A and B are shown apart, each in its own frame.
Chain A
Amino acid sequence: GENVEQHPSTLSVQEGDSAVIKCTYSDSASNYFPWYKQELGKRPQLIIDIRSNVGEKKDQRIAVTLNKTAKHFSLHITETQPEDSAVYFCAASMKLTGGGNKLTFGTGTQLKVEL
């Protein structure tokens, strides 16, 4: 099955700096890569996603890059703010035999933005 590895597990940056979180996946059949943000005690929420036919996608201060050959994808947050502090999860999606898509999640990165 799919295996997703995520690094680092914790990341501390100064406000205004950039943050980069990296993930690798194992199954070349995976074709959709979402990123979720989870604040303490809250539900995961989708912040950005990328499909396998695209190399990069941006949405204001966040961007995701995908290297299909190397099977890795990264989340980039620029000009970090204290409200960016949260746990970030990457995921890889592949089709299930019963229909639908299975999301395999990374183990999460605790991002702390310090003033």
Chain B
Amino acid sequence: NAGVTQTPKFQVLKTGQSMTLQCAQDMNHEYMSWYRQDPGMGLRLIHYSVGAGITDQGEVPNGYNVSRSTTEDFPLRLLSAAPSQTSVYFCASSLTGLAIHEQYFGPGTRLTVT
């Protein structure tokens, strides 16, 4: 199993550009989520999905869109990048959304918006 994979590893965008961060898992996990990690602030939940076709907002959803057309993939879209979106983005998955199931994190995408 590759586990949770993310692409790209690094990305530099100009303000106003759009892009999609890719996340995939091959563990047949129902639950997937996106976090951003900023210095001194821990990880904050952006969006999550409890299964294919179902998504919902987390703590900091503004400026981001998600979709979940398959169990395996959960892309995060930035429609118009802003410098405030400079961060490290982690995708995570777990067997279900229940707390008893461990969340596995991907390797992260470091995004810089200039």
Contact = CB atoms under 8 A, between A and B. Distances in A.
A103 interface: yes
B56 to A, nearest CB: 4
Contact of A96 (B44, B56, B100): B56
Nearest to B55: A98
A44 B105 contact: yes
Contacts of A44: 43, 90, 105
Interface in B45-67: 45, 48, 50, 54, 56, 58-59
A46 B103 contact: yes
A17 B43 CA distance: 28
Interface residues of B, number: 26
B108 A96 contact: no
A95 B90 CA distance: 21
Contact of A43 (B54, B97, B99, B105): B105
Contacts of A49: 102
A114 B19 CA distance: 42
Contacts of A105: 42-44
Size range of the interface on A?
20 to 34
B75 interface: no
Contact of A100 (B41, B97, B106): B97
B26 to A, nearest CB: 16
Contact of B99 (A1, A32, A99, A104): A32
A5 B41 CA distance: 10
A107 B41 contact: yes
Please indicate which of the listed interface residues B42, B90, B103, B106 has the most CB atoms of chain A within 10 Å of its own CB.
B42
Interface of B: 31, 33, 40-45, 48, 50, 54, 56, 58-59, 90, 96-100, 102-103, 105-108
29 contacts: A4-B42, A6-B42, A31-B99, A32-B99, A34-B103, A43-B90, A43-B106, A44-B90, A44-B105, A45-B105, A46-B102, A46-B103, A51-B99, A89-B43, A93-B99, A96-B48, A96-B56, A98-B50, A98-B56, A99-B97, A100-B33, A100-B48, A101-B97, A101-B99, A102-B59, A103-B43, A106-B42, A108-B40, A108-B42
